[in-house]
Each structure stands twice: as C-alpha cells, then as structure tokens.
Amino acid sequence: MKYYLVAGEASGDLHGANLMKALKLEDAQADFRYFGGDKMQAEGGELVKHYADMAFMGFTEVLLNLRTILKNMKSCKADLLAYQPDVLILIDFPGFNLKIAEFAKAQGIKVCYYISPKVWAWNQKRVLKIKKVVDQLFCILPFEVDFYKEWGMDVHYVGNPLLDEIAQFSPDAAFREKHDLSEQKIIALLPGSRKQEIERLLPDMLSITAQFPAYQFVIAAAPTFTAAYYQQYIGDKNVKLVFAQTYNLLHQAHAALVASGTATLETALFKVPQVVLYRGGAISVGIARMVIKIKFISLVNLIMNKKVVTELIQEDCNSKEIARVLSTILDGKERQTMLDDYNELGTKMGTAGASERTAKLVVNFLTLANT
C-alpha cells in the first residue's frame, strides 16, 4: 500500500521513522512519500520536504513566516493529489496537519493521525473538527483517551514512542572518555533544537555554571548547528558539547536544565531530576496565557496531573531562579520525591511498542476499509 506521512519537526521525524519501520514489517509492499527529515529518509521512500524548512515556534514566528507556511501547505496538497496514497498519516504538528487532514478528507483520502493534536491545551472545540476529518486517532499520552471520550470520540492509546527509543538505547561505556568529560557529576543542559529556544534559554543556563564548580556542565547540542554556534554562548566557561548524544548524556547526568517540550519527558524516563525552562516572545506568551487552558506546560506534570518538576516560565526563567531551583534537586528530600514520582510516571506510561501497535492498527484499518 501507499503511505503519505507528514512530520514537521525533529520529534515527528523520529517517530515517523519508527512508524515506517513498523509498517514495513506489517506490509511488505509499503511505499512511502513524506514531509519529514533525515531519520525518515533513512527508512526509504521519497522525502518531499525537510522539516528544517517548516518548523516555526510561537504565534509571532508563525505570522512572520506565514508566506512560507502557506507555500508549504500548497505544495503538500498538490503532491498528495499526485501520489494518491491509500492513507495519509499525520504526525503531531497540528497547525499545519489539521488543514492537510481537512483537504485530504475532502478528496476521499483516508486520514490517520499519530500523536494526536494537543487540543486539550487550548481551543478544545477543535475536537469537533478532528472528528470530521480524521478516521483513526492514535494517542501517546494516557490522559488523552478520557479527554476525547468526553467529546464523544473513541481513540487508541498506543503507548508513547519515546519508550520505544529508550528501550532500544544501549549506553556507550566510553561516552565520558570520547567527549573528554571529567569524573565530576554531570548537569545536562538541553536548550532545545530550535534557534529561538537556544537563543532565549542557553545564556541563562550557562550563567549559573560558576555557582556549581563541583559539577561538569554538558550541552546536548542539536546536529543542525555547529560547535562554533554554541561556542559564542559558552565563551571561556568549562562547558562541554555533545552532538546527537542526548540519551548517553542523560544516562550519565545527575540533574538537568531542560527546555519545555518532549525532552522533559525523556529526561524523566531516564530518571534525571530536572528544572523545566520556557521563554517565548512577549506577544506569543501574552496570547498563550489568554487562551491556554492547562495548569502545567511540561509533559511530566501534565501526565501526573500535579507538580512533579518546577517550571520556570518567562520572567521566572532567570539566572537567580534557575540556580535556586537546581540546588534543591541535586540531593536531599526534594530530589528523592521527584525520583519517586518518576517511578509512578513510568507505570502510567506503560510499555514500549507504540510504533508496532500503531502500524498494526493502520494496516488493519486499511484492510477492513478495502474489503
């Protein structure tokens, strides 16, 4: 069968690649065409557009790049019609993908959505649109099933694909030696993969290093940037860089400073106490505060429905607060409480196998639809 996938950012590329791998096991004749990235391309098929040309963060950034977004959307629709897939599989990235879903549905193309849109965060009435334009919805967060049920929509909880990645991870015993890391305990810095995130968060992350001389600070660097790019922020500080080695870094880390996003959940699943940071553009954050309906921004707190990790947002995301909160989780009672909560989180998340479960559900859906 022919599968058209759309992933618009790095995490979607990762999950898309794993899903493609699982689909090939279910369907030996699987043919792929997609918007995605390097990881999806490594699984075969045809890469139409790279996510690096698609990922824009925040309300302001989206408005400033609206022409590019609309051009990408037009290109995707035309390519979808030309390819005529058996199914369109959309991966997260709702601002773009829900419009593509609406178009595909109108053209009679079956639509599956993997990693459901976070409509529970704001404008919850979008569920009504999802019911109209999506045939099968696959959720990766436990609480989403009950949320959609309240809106009269049956969905599938397939587990979280991060569990698949972590289950496949094999630690590098020579990691410290390869990266010239000291024997000091490591504080990992995960400032995100987007330029806006890095520019807004990394300077404050680095500003506190002198206050913790007993620790080795290490940045999880995004492979889309160079060492020279990060060095402009590091200066003469004793801070190391590792590229594309986030899991090895988390495996070794004693604590972490993490940009809000998927990485907060990864950090928790690696049982690393963390401080969650977020700073956006003033206009974007102002709008978000008016429309967002949730108590927390980190996936860890949302899944647990309580404060497990401290979130330092906007004006609270400053050197003084970062240092203060970090110091509370390096040892002692607060650290242990967080680790205990992480154990409960792991139980809630379930087991690995999200990609395989989703692939089976997609192929079964298509088989039934075609009989």
Dist CA 354 CA 192 (whole Å):
24
Residue 50 has phi, psi (to 5 degrees) of: -85, 145
Asked if 210 and 129 sit in the same domain, the reply is: no
- Contacts for 147 with CB less than 8 Å, ≥ 6 apart: 120
Cβ-contact 153, 127 below 8 angstroms: yes
Asked if 321 and 239 sit in the same domain, the reply is: yes
Asked if 258 and 365 sit in the same domain, the reply is: no
Asked if 187 and 324 sit in the same domain, the reply is: yes
Burial tier of 316 (Cβ tally within 10 Å: 0-12, 13-18, 19+): middle
Asked if 213 and 318 sit in the same domain, the reply is: yes
Asked if 100 and 229 sit in the same domain, the reply is: no
pLDDT digit string (tens) for 1-22? 999 999 998 889 989 999 999 9
Asked if 343 and 197 sit in the same domain, the reply is: yes
Dist CA 241 CA 180 (whole Å):
10
Dist CA 214 CA 369 (whole Å):
61
Provide the number of structural domains found in the chain: 2
Q: What is the mean pLDDT of residues 197-210?
A: 96
DSSP string covering 114-131: ES---TTTB-TTHHHHHH
Q: Is pLDDT above 60 for 226?
A: yes
Give the pLDDT band (50/70/90) at residue 338.
very high
pLDDT for the residue numbered 126: 85
Complete edge-to-edge strand list for the sheet that includes strand 310-313: 239-243, 215-221, 185-190, 253-259, 274-278, 310-313
Asked if 196 and 283 sit in the same domain, the reply is: yes
Asked if 286 and 305 sit in the same domain, the reply is: yes
Other beta carbons within 10 angstroms of residue 254's beta carbon come to 17
Asked if 223 and 271 sit in the same domain, the reply is: yes
Asked if 188 and 124 sit in the same domain, the reply is: no
Domain holding 138, by residue range, is 2-159+353-369
CATH code of the domain covering residue 100 = 3.40.50.2000
Q: Is pLDDT above 50 for 33?
A: yes
Q: What is the mean pLDDT of residues 156-165?
A: 91
Q: At what angle do helices 161-168 and 10-26 cross, to 10 degrees?
A: 80
pLDDT digit string (tens) for 71-124? 989 999 999 999 999 999 999 988 899 999 999 999 999 999 999 888 887 777
Asked if 217 and 312 sit in the same domain, the reply is: yes
